[in-house]
Amino acid sequence: MLHIVNKSPLERPSLDTVLQAGADGAILLIEDGVYAATRGNAVEDRLKKAMGTLKVYALGPDLDARGVADRLTEGVTVVGYDGFVDLVAEYKTNQSWL
Amino acid sequence: MLHIVNKSPLERPSLDTVLQAGADGAILLIEDGVYAATRGNAVEDRLKKAMGTLKVYALGPDLDARGVADRLTEGVTVVGYDGFVDLVAEYKTNQSWL
Amino acid sequence: MTTKKFMIVNRKAPYGTVYALESLEVVLIGAAFEQDVSLAFMDDGVYQLKKGHQTKGIGMKAFEKTYGALEDYDVTKLYVDQESMAARGLTPEDLCVPVEMMPRADLGKLMEDQDVVLSF
Amino acid sequence: MTTKKFMIVNRKAPYGTVYALESLEVVLIGAAFEQDVSLAFMDDGVYQLKKGHQTKGIGMKAFEKTYGALEDYDVTKLYVDQESMAARGLTPEDLCVPVEMMPRADLGKLMEDQDVVLSF
Amino acid sequence: MILSILVNEGPYTHQASDSAYQFAAAALAKGHEIFRVFFYHDGVNNGTRLTTPPQDDRNIVSRWSKLGEEHKLDLVVCVAAAQRRGIVDEGEARRNGKDATNLAPGFRISGLGQLIEAGIQSDRTVTFGD
Amino acid sequence: MILSILVNEGPYTHQASDSAYQFAAAALAKGHEIFRVFFYHDGVNNGTRLTTPPQDDRNIVSRWSKLGEEHKLDLVVCVAAAQRRGIVDEGEARRNGKDATNLAPGFRISGLGQLIEAGIQSDRTVTFGD
């Protein structure tokens, strides 16, 4: 399934909960959630470890807005709003971890 | 000074930030912040440790509403809204850690 | 009418925000539409089920008894995340209704099996 | 008019919520009232100062340049929490304006010295 | 594919409504159908026509109204949430004795059943909130 | 002692407005003076007279209006935040070409300077928000 995370990983437990609950499928980081996909963030190692089983996407416009597009963690795929729509279509179930 | 914390300690970093920034004075836990003052919560030890230098208060009506008044961590003083007002008056500066 | 699997995921404490209350309204309407509705409680959401809400002092209406009434609406699937309970020092005896405790990873698998997941 | 020490504490990331933008409006008005205004950036608030905001894709107005203009309003006290920067892999070179980095405990002491602390 | 969107936060304070709008626009551009956009919780505040955002900022409400008009979208504001927060159309004003209305063009007020129905009728439902 | 209160969230969604109200009532009961209650961010939504909460629930808006009337409180809604969110009095409606108003009795709309002034004139300023 598709897990949509819109919260900063240092501000809310959402991402950690997903990493522990999400067996496979994908995580899409949007809004303040994109900070999780930046190099040097305290969750970097946990996110990289999860990439063994979960695909990780980050929303490009949100990375750009926050000035962190050039700090993308290796292995994260950047998508636009159209890619966001494609991911929703691809996975039968999605959940926004508000 | 008086630090007012209205967020659950497992949901936001507010309390931990206060515990690291607050030299002395007092912490008043209100709203979802009162969960920090309950026995068995993962922050219990950190809160107790801080009590050496910081006084810790919790708002009674918020403890009652959440059904946790009987789980109060030892050393925490319960106040009502009138006690909240007194604490604000007592300390020259207060800050709400939103 | 088509029956779909709806899971309402509750991850926020009660009273500090309105989400717990307004998510219950979704549950009841989902049941009225005869959908296959389940509830998951994770992170601070497990606090919603802590028994003994006494809200007079904050001037709000307590909605604890609504959880007990869910059975009357044939809503019986209440899943609670074990890890979230442990981090808060809670046990099933602390809760106002009987629930099924499960490890976070199992709860995750259950989500995969849903048609619609609404998260509050 | 009386001059008081106002500290505006920013602890939230920009764009995900409006607080960063609306807190800047408070700063500017505080300066217009000739108050002794300082800004503290802690937790996700340090992200407000990350340089290179490109907001066209999300359809919002970037307000990065307002931080650079604060000096024109004699607002020059910008304090940044060292621990928050480190946890996010940020260094002063990543920020859009010069700031004073300080350990969390020192920032706490600075707060004690204020008359009014407004937190967003 | 048939999509529905749930918006749980109001305009400007959280990015939720912005993200939902961009998602909706992208989905429509790709040829997907949007069965319904449902506004719940503070999301109902997206449906007031009384906002006057700064000239150089986006107008979140009128942007929804316009997208709705162009694509015949069903923009539904939850009645119970709207009553708590003061979003009112003519019927609500009459029923509740209010002397003014503020619902924006293209929105309608209806029950929470519309959200469940959206979940049933759509291939995917996506939530935006805080 | 002279107190002022800053309310940053709207009614019902967050407890902020409830806590602020209880704090204000307790302060007044103790004989303190409240110089001003300032509503900022989504807090401006506390100032709409169009809410109709459930009969068995508290009415957050009218409760503020009533406390304001009883104690001659200065309940100020920030104009910039109000414009973004659609809180309108007659002057604002005229200036911005709106066909309705929704400001509740006892509230007034004014600038952010009123918040700074409150901070200056009060012995304590307390913030309630999310």
pLDDT tens for each residue of C27-60: 999 999 999 999 999 999 999 999 999 999 999 9
Contact C17 F56 (CB under 8 A): no
Instruction: With beta carbons less than 8 A apart as the criterion, state whether C16 and B6 touch.
Output: yes
Report DSSP letters for C39-61, one per residue: EEE-GGGGGGGBS----GGGT--
The length of chain D is 120
Neighbouring C-alpha atoms within 13 Å toward the C-beta of A80: 10
- Give me the residue from D105, D113, D120 closest to B20, CB to CB: D105
Q: What share of chain D in percent tops pLDDT 90?
A: 98
Burial class (CB in 10 A: 0-12, 13-18, 19+), C72: exposed
Contact C25 E129 (CB under 8 A): no
pLDDT in tens, B26-43: 999 999 999 999 999 999
Q: Active site includes F78? A: yes
What's the predicted TM-score (pTM) here? 0.98
Task: Assign F3 a pLDDT band (cuts: 50, 70, 90).
Answer: very high
What's the pLDDT at B24? 85
What's the pLDDT at A23? 72
Residue E111 structural domain = 2-128
From D1's Cα to the closest Cα of chain B, the distance in A is 20
CATH code, A66 = 3.40.1260.10
Tokens, residue F89: 């009095």
Beta bridge partners of F76: F38, F108
Give me the interface pTM, i.e. the ipTM.
0.97
Tokens, residue C6: 């709806």
**CATH top-level class of D5-119:** alpha beta
Cβ-based neighbour number of residue F96 at 10 Å? 12
- Give me the residue from B6, B10, B65 closest to C54, CB to CB: B65
Mean local confidence (pLDDT), F16-34: 98
Residue A37 structural domain = 2-97
Instruction: With beta carbons less than 8 A apart as the criterion, state whether C60 and F60 touch.
Output: no
pLDDT in tens, D56-108: 999 999 999 999 999 999 999 999 999 999 999 999 999 999 999 999 999 99
Average pLDDT value for chain C: 97
Backbone angles phi and psi of A3, in degrees to 5? -100, 120
Catalytic residue among E7, E78, E82, E109: E78
CA torsion angle for C16, C22, C25, C26 (degrees, to 10)? -120
Any C CB within 8 A of F99 CB: no
Task: Assign B22 a pLDDT band (cuts: 50, 70, 90).
Answer: confident
CATH code, E13 = 3.40.1260.10
Preferred mutation among A92, A93, A94, A97 to probe C, highest tally of C CBs within 10 A: A93
Q: For residue D1, is pLDDT > 80?
A: no
Count of structural domains within chain E = 1
pLDDT in tens, F77-116: 999 999 999 999 999 999 999 999 999 999 999 999 999 9
Contact D104 B17 (CB under 8 A): yes
Count of structural domains within chain B = 1
What's the pLDDT at A22? 79
CA nearest neighbour of A7 among F57, E118, E129: E129
Instruction: With beta carbons less than 8 A apart as the criterion, state whether E27 and E124 touch.
Output: no
Backbone angles phi and psi of F82, in degrees to 5? -70, -40
CA nearest neighbour of C31 among B14, E112, E17, D3: E112
Dihedral sign, Cα of residue B78, residue B83, residue B88, residue B92: negative
- Distance CA(D32)–CA(F114), nearest Å, equals 12
Contact A32 D13 (CB under 8 A): yes
Residue with tokens 């007279």: F49
Contact A61 D88 (CB under 8 A): no
Tokens, residue E67: 């997208």
What's the pLDDT at F114? 98
SS3 (DSSP) at C4: coil
pLDDT in tens, E69-88: 999 999 999 999 999 999 99
SS3 (DSSP) at F109: strand
